[in-house]
């Protein structure tokens, strides 16, 4: 038997609140977005290292992806291990 993590052992079911059709005049199929659209309008979740500030990490992301805008949000909590 393979080893499973606790969240993998939990049985899940899909909850659908409402069946609906997408009006494509307000957007497009996410699977058909270009790489530029994904980079410019997407969200990157990352685990910030301890020493650089959030502002510095945003600047790193801008440099690495060659984009004009990047920002950060959320609560930064220092955890003791």
pLDDT (tens digit, 9 = 90+) per residue, 12-48? 888 889 888 888 888 888 788 898 888 888 888 888 8
**pTM of the complete model:** 0.54
Q: How far apart are CA 42 and CA 40, in angstroms?
A: 6
Would you say 57 and 48 are in contact if contact means Cβ atoms under 8 Å apart?
Answer: yes
Question: pLDDT band at 76, cuts 50/70/90?
Answer: low
The owner of tokens 């993998």 is: 8
Would you say 32 and 49 are in contact if contact means Cβ atoms under 8 Å apart?
Answer: no
pLDDT (tens digit, 9 = 90+) per residue, 46-68? 888 888 888 898 999 999 988 88
Ramachandran category for residue 42: left, alpha or beta (phi over 0 → left; psi -120 to 50 → alpha): beta
Tokens representing 51? Answer: 């020493």
Tokens representing 59? Answer: 């600047």
Domain boundaries in the chain? 33-72
């Amino acid at each position: 038997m393979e080893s499973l993590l606790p969240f993998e052992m939990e049985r899940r079911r899909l909850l659908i609140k409402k069946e609906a059709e997408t009006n494509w005049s307000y957007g497009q199929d996410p699977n058909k977005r270009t790489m530029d659209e994904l980079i410019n309008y997407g969200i990157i979740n990352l685990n910030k290292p301890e020493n650089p500030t959030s502002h510095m990490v945003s600047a790193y992301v801008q440099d690495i992806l060659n984009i004009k805008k990047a920002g950060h949000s959320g609560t930064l909590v220092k955890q003791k291990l």
